[in-house]
Amino acid sequence: NVQQVRHLEVGRKGTYIAKKMPTTAKLEAGKKYWWCKCGLSKKQPFCDGAHKPTKFKPVMIMVDKPKTVLLCRCKQTSKEPYCDMTHVGVMFSSFGKRLGLVK
């Protein structure tokens, strides 16, 4: 099973939590980028094709002006592919799980 191989937690959306914090990325205008949605890519925050055994597909990003963006790596954001701070809750809930405070 993929999860055991990568030692990653699964989040509420069923995607793997690659990192519990976002990362910035400098994007060029007019270029296609593929944001990793499943969480399994080793090239976070971008896709490396690791989603193939999952039901998830990467999300395309293209900007019309060069831009630095904050991309989600917890893969639980509601504003894919951008960080919406959901990772803060993810961090606390996995800490709570370890302490046995939440399921």
Nearer of residues 9 and 84 to ligand FES, judged by Cβ: 84
Nearer of residues 20 and 50 to ligand FES, judged by Cβ: 20
Min. distance of Cβ 30 from ligand FES in angstroms?
A: 26
Nearer of residues 69 and 74 to ligand FES, judged by Cβ: 74
CB 22 within 8 A of CB 46: no
Q: For residue 20, what are the contacts with CB-CB under 8 A and spacing of at least 6?
A: 73, 74, 87, 90, 91, 94
Q: Given the rule CB under 6 A, which residues bind ligand FES?
A: 21-22, 72-74, 76-77, 83-87
